[in-house]
Structure formats: structure tokens, C-alpha cells
Amino acid sequence: MLSLPYHKNHYPFHEAQTIHVAEIGKHINIAEEQQLNSFYLEILAKPAKRTARPNASVYDSLDSNSDTQE
């Protein structure tokens, strides 16, 4: 059990933010810039089905180019 410093009755926590997984690195960089001693990250997974993207990805074009370059 973590004991509180003298004359303190709680540990204040900032409100949690919900961010996209792609933003995790950005927020870690912010924590480093602020020289935080620690930070809390909780990843909540949920089942989902990915849908096709409207535009072909970079990887799709690389795959199609690999067939023509042999």
C-alpha cells in the first residue's frame, strides 16, 4: 500500500483522455518534453472488423510493383 505524505489526503490524477492508437507515440513524446517521471497508459481492446480503405495503400502499390520488376 502506498502511503500519503504528511498533510495530504489523496493523490491527484489528471483526467484520462481517449486517443487513437496512432497517437500513442505523440503523447509519449509530450510526456518526455514535460520531463514527467511517469505516466499511465491503458489500452482497451475491442473486437472490430476492418473495412477496406477507399484508396490503395503504399503497401498495395509495393506488392503490385514486385511482380513487374522480376
Residue 39 has what pLDDT?
Answer: 84
- The pLDDT tens digits for 12-41 are 777 778 888 899 999 999 999 999 888 888
- Please, which residues have CB within 8 angstroms of residue 39's CB and are 6 or more apart in sequence? 27, 28, 31
Pick from 26, 69, 22: which is nearest to 61 by CA?
Answer: 69
- Distance in angstroms (rounded) separating the CA atoms of residues 65 and 63: 5
Whether the model clears a pTM of 0.75, i.e. scores above it, the answer is no
CA dist 5 and 15 (Å) reads 22
Q: Where are the domains of the chain?
A: 1-70
